Amino acid sequence: MSSPQTIRNSPDQIEIQRIAPAGDEALVVELGATISRLVNNHVRDLEKSLINAGWPEIVATVPSYRSLLVYFDPVRISFAELAQRIRTLSRRQIVASNQARRWRLPVCYGGGYGPDLNDLASKLGLSAAEVVRSHSGTEYMVYMIGFSPGFAYLGELPKALEVPRKTTLRPLVAPNTVQIGGQQTAISSMPMPSGWYIVGRTPLKMYQSANPRPFLLEGGDLIQFEPVEPHQFESIATQVERRTFEATWEWA
């Protein structure tokens, strides 16, 4: 699906705070000092503007919570010239429509799928059922994809579920787990160690390297978790493996 381009002309337009070199072949454009949806939206808007501009000097872009890393060819353009171009472009950002994809992702909470759910509930002074209701009853935005291919950082977590990350790591956590740590929740993509609380798992695959679009999610997507029972999880997981189940989304 696609939507028309628009020119942003908003009273809440965010100015570039700083553009700094990141080695000889990259620069960082900082758009804010705090984590917020407004700042993150502008990071992604700027990235789309650069992509739409089609400047051959730019090699790649990597968005984060509040900044954009831009790799460039230093033979074709200098840091100073590219920084000035980006500042000029940002004053009249041409961006994609602000529509977002909204997903409903099945998640099996607790048990072997979320081994830290009961421990987390105890630390928060809640029941496991209350944690699940609060976590699944919130709509999240994907702030960024990073750390490992397809790892999705989501916000904002309900205040009642905020908890410091664990002091010891689990040495290996299954892929596609739903995790809580600090003020964030996240969905992993690959087997890895984790100091977050593992509360559930989705039968969907966040990262499939063989696919033309290897990441299921992207920055700006909206996520609503849908609790499912173990037998439902296993049924969907089987369909995913057989490629007879396709995750769907709609425009928000």
The answer to whether 206 and 151 have CB atoms below 8 angstroms apart is yes
Q: What's the one-letter identity of residue 174?
A: A
User: What's the confidence (pLDDT) of residue 91?
Assistant: 82
Rounded to whole angstroms, the Cα distance separating 155 from 64 reads 13
Ranges for all domains in the chain classified under CATH 3.30.1360.40: 5-96
CATH 3.30.460.20, applies to 5-96: no
3-state helix, strand, coil in the chain (%, to 5): 25, 30, 45
Low-confidence ranges of the chain (pLDDT < 70): 1-13, 93-98
User: What's the confidence (pLDDT) of residue 124?
Assistant: 98
Ranges for all domains in the chain classified under CATH 2.40.100.10: 101-251
User: What's the confidence (pLDDT) of residue 50?
Assistant: 95
User: What's the confidence (pLDDT) of residue 10?
Assistant: 44
User: What's the confidence (pLDDT) of residue 13?
Assistant: 61
Q: What's the one-letter identity of residue 131?
A: V
Its pTM stands at: 0.86
Strand-pair partners of 28: 20, 69
User: What's the confidence (pLDDT) of residue 15?
Assistant: 85
User: What's the confidence (pLDDT) of residue 1?
Assistant: 35
Average pLDDT, the chain: 91
User: What's the confidence (pLDDT) of residue 97?
Assistant: 53
Q: What are phi and psi of 137, to 5 degrees?
A: -90, 5
Rounded to whole angstroms, the Cα distance separating 65 from 59 reads 21
**What dotted CATH number matches 101-251?**
2.40.100.10
